[in-house]
Structure 1
Amino acid sequence: MLIRWYHGPITRQEAESRLRNEREGSYLIRNSESNRLDYSLSIKSSNGCVHLKIVTNHEGRFILGQCSQPFASVPKMIQYYTLNKLPIKGAEHMSLTFPVGY
């Protein structure tokens, strides 16, 4: 399965550059800079870019930020948040609308 929104090990600055001219709700997933085993969701907002860490819990499930429900995989998480609003303060009005391909 080809996952267009996964950009691999790019920096936060590179993610912002790729999202700069995109519409609000555009997003991509990249490897976290602080821990290569984790991921980051970068999403374009009306005020620039928001970066949210995706971590795995002790059961190996994926959690967005610190307060989302756990998901079996990152693609399942992305699918859920294309249909539902993000549970993050400052981004609660947003959902993942436009995947940015690499």
Structure 2
Amino acid sequence: MTFQSSEANFSLYRSFSYLHSRVLLDLQDEITSLEKELDDIDWDDFDEEPSRLQSRQFDNSQPDGEGAPRSRRVILRDIKAKLMEYGTYIL
């Protein structure tokens, strides 16, 4: 331990690149699932009322508590969190 600490060039650490890749792939899969969920809601709303996708007011009026179906706002919040987490690994 003293020998390794005596010179910066002697330091050897594992990068865990395989595990980093697994974590990134898992996050990509989660983000892709959230993206599909958002697309499904968008298409459902488009089929029912095309102007709904242009209405933030409609999105804000949707319940997002327990028992309610997941709203666009909730899904976007989850996507934002996952993208931020993903970005920390990429940088």
**TM-score, shorter chain, exceeding 0.5:** no
What TM-score range do you get, normalising by the shorter chain? under 0.3
Report which of the two structures shows the higher radius of gyration computed on alpha carbons.
Answer: 2
TM-score w.r.t. the length of structure 2 is: 0.25
Q: Which structure has more RCO (C-alpha within 8 Å, separation ≥ 6)? A: 2
TM-score w.r.t. the length of structure 1 is: 0.23
